[in-house]
């Protein structure tokens, strides 16, 4: 297969305009698109095939590149294809495979990285015009670690600009689309990571999570995403959202795939000030631990203001979990003290960027940071003293939270209280004058998209989202399980037990190279979605053949 620059650029272009939408699904063995059956395998299955010498790394890379070529124009999940680099990595790994030498369970497995994770020599943009030509000189620590373990970095995934958003549709490259309904948002900010998994473009991906950015898109795209304990995975070399709450974690289509990935990602990084010492853990083994004695907590506030269809699906999931465990033993009162959300890290980082590059953001962030740099009279910002106190409150919260797990071992809640909205409505809301009115766009307000996820980032404890049902319209619903610090094994074990008892993870969106793509029309919101002016269009995606920033291979 010849992989040309023009072909790659066309692959990563902006939204394709067409009409129509399909909601039905086949089971997982029937992934369509005229591509290799290898792309329908789970990461764990591919790992087993590599180690049994039933397939080579090169064959895997070519299969997924072909799948991207056919399907990515529909979902706009991948913004940079690293085909040349991936094939070069695969050649080395194939030689090692032939010699019977394997670096680990990820040997030869193609992965996508959220495009705020640095890759040496390949652009890393944070989906912002600010960084459209940014080419790092060093790999992020996690990238170097994954490469050493034999993983192949095949692509960079779309995201909500600078990871500041729950919807996933504000991007220099255009919105990522939900593979289950192409006119709907994916959730954010790890939008492209989740969409690329749901569309079977890659078997595994990395995301980052500061307020729900791994778990929300996992819930809305019907995939599995784990936010590990704060500091368990290095964030050095990742463009920050809010460093003290930033997590990097694995995303895949099954719990066992996430467990396998985490084992190759966790580890202390002495050069990352947020990294914490940890003992190596076999998370796949931990995933198989018994769950019969686990006690479930269901904090009531996380069940308030939940969409009725989501509420019904989560409560049905709880009935399954009750039969697998010791049942629901507590309403799980969690820490409700001051969490410390005014640390000033985001403002400091972006102030330095603006001094260097100007206010060169997409519309919503441009408005936000312009107001930060040129505040209206009477505007008050957090003082240095308040920032210090916020950090102290955050540290206190993290020290106290484990002690709240007394009459329960895990908490189980809806990942997000809201169904995924439509892209056109979302863009209209976020680009309107004045604050958005739809709850899904007021991310952290009561009943908003990231209401249930945010606190766990600040707690710094592990939390996973996995599919637990579908709405009447065919959109996925996510279930979140969380536990105390460093109890990833407990979280994975319960998630795996639930997955084994259900088949939600086996469902696949109907998505082929012929699937029509609804147009993006950023006009007035639909009735009931709020009013406002017609928003400005986002920056257009690069035209085919354009070198800057449209080149999708490493610049020569």
**Catalytic residue list:** 114, 189, 213
Cα separation values, 292 from 50, 298, 322, 323, 462, Å:
34, 17, 9, 8, 20
Is the preceding omega at residue 44 within 30 degrees of 0, hence cis? Answer: no
Mode of pairing for the β-strands spanning 247-252 and 204-209: antiparallel
Exposure of 301 in the CB half-sphere (CA atoms within 13 A): 12
Token pair for residue 541?
A: 């995606």
Q: For residues 273 and 396, what is the distance between their CA atoms, to the nearest angstrom?
A: 18
Q: For residues 265 and 518, what is the distance between their CA atoms, to the nearest angstrom?
A: 37
Exposure of 155 in the CB half-sphere (CA atoms within 13 A): 35
Q: For residues 370 and 136, what is the distance between their CA atoms, to the nearest angstrom?
A: 26
- Report the DSSP beta bridge partners of residue 204: 111, 252
Q: For residues 470 and 465, what is the distance between their CA atoms, to the nearest angstrom?
A: 14
Q: For residues 515 and 281, what is the distance between their CA atoms, to the nearest angstrom?
A: 43
Q: To which H or E segment does residue 402 belong?
A: none
Q: For residues 231 and 234, what is the distance between their CA atoms, to the nearest angstrom?
A: 6
Q: For residues 369 and 360, what is the distance between their CA atoms, to the nearest angstrom?
A: 10
Longest CA span, the chain:
69
Residue with tokens 């600009």: 161
């Amino acid at each position: 297969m010849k992989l040309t620059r023009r072909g790659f650029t066309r692959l990563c272009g902006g939204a394709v305009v067409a009409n129509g939408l399909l909601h039905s699904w086949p089971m997982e063995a029937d992934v369509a698109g005229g591509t290799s059956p290898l792309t329908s395998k789970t990461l764990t299955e591919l790992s087993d095939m590599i180690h049994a010498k039933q397939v080579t790394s090169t064959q895997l890379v070519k299969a997924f590149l072909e799948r991207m070529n056919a399907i990515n124009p529909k979902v706009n999940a991948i913004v940079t294809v690293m085909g040349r680099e991936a094939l070069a990595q695969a050649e080395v790994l194939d030689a090692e495979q032939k010699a019977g030498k394997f670096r680990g369970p990820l040997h030869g497995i193609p992965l996508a990285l959220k495009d705020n994770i640095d890759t040496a020599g390949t652009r890393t943009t944070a989906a912002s015009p600010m960084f459209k030509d940014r080419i790092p000189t060093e790999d992020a620590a996690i990238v170097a670690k994954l490469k050493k373990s034999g993983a192949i970095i095949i692509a960079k995934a779309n995201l909500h600009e600078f990871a500041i958003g729950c919807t996933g549709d504000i991007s220099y490259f255009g919105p990522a689309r939900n593979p289950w309904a192409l006119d709907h948002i994916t959730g954010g900010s790890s939008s492209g990571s989740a969409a690329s998994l749901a569309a079977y473009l890659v078997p595994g991906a990395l995301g980052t999570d500061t307020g729900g950015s791994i778990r929300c898109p996992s819930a809305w795209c019907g995939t599995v995403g784990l936010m590990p304990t704060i500091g368990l995975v290095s964030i050095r070399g990742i463009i920050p959202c809010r460093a003290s709450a930033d997590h990097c974690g694995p995303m895949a289509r099954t719990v066992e795939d996430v467990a396998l990935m985490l084992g190759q990602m966790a580890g202390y990084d002495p050069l990352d000030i947020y990294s914490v010492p940890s003992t190596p853990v076999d998370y796949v083994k931990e995933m198989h631990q018994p769950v019969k004695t686990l006690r479930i907590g269901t904090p009531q506030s996380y069940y308030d203001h939940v969409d009725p269809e989501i509420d019904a699906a989560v409560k049905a999931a709880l009935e399954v979990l009750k039969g697998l465990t010791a049942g629901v033993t507590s309403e799980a009162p969690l820490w409700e003290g001051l969490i410390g959300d005014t640390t000033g890290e985001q403002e400091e980082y972006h102030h330095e960027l603006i001094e260097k590059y100007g206010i060169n953001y997409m519309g919503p962030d441009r408005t936000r940071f312009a107001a930060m740099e040129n505040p209206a009279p009477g505007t008050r910002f957090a003082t240095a003293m308040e920032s210090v106190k916020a950090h102290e409150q955050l540290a206190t919260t993290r020290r106290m939270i484990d002690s709240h797990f007394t009459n329960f071992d895990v908490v189980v809640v809806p990942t997000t209280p809201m169904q995924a909205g439509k892209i056109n409505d979302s863009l209209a809301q976020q680009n309107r004058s004045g604050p958005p009115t739809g709850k899904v766009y007021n991310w952290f307000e009561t009943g908003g998209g990231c209401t249930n996820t945010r606190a766990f980032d600040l707690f710094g404890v592990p939390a996973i989202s996995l599919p637990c049902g579908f709405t009447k319209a065919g959109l996925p619903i996510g279930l979140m399980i969380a536990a105390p610090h460093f109890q990833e094994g407990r979280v994975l074990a319960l998630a795996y037990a639930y997955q084994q008892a259900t088949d939600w993870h086996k469902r696949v969106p109907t998505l082929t190279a012929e699937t029509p793509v609804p147009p993006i029309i950023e006009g007035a919101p639909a009735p009931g979605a709020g009013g406002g002016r017609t928003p400005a269009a986002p920056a257009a995606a690069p035209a085919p053949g354009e070198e800057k920033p449209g080149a999708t291979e490493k610049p020569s």
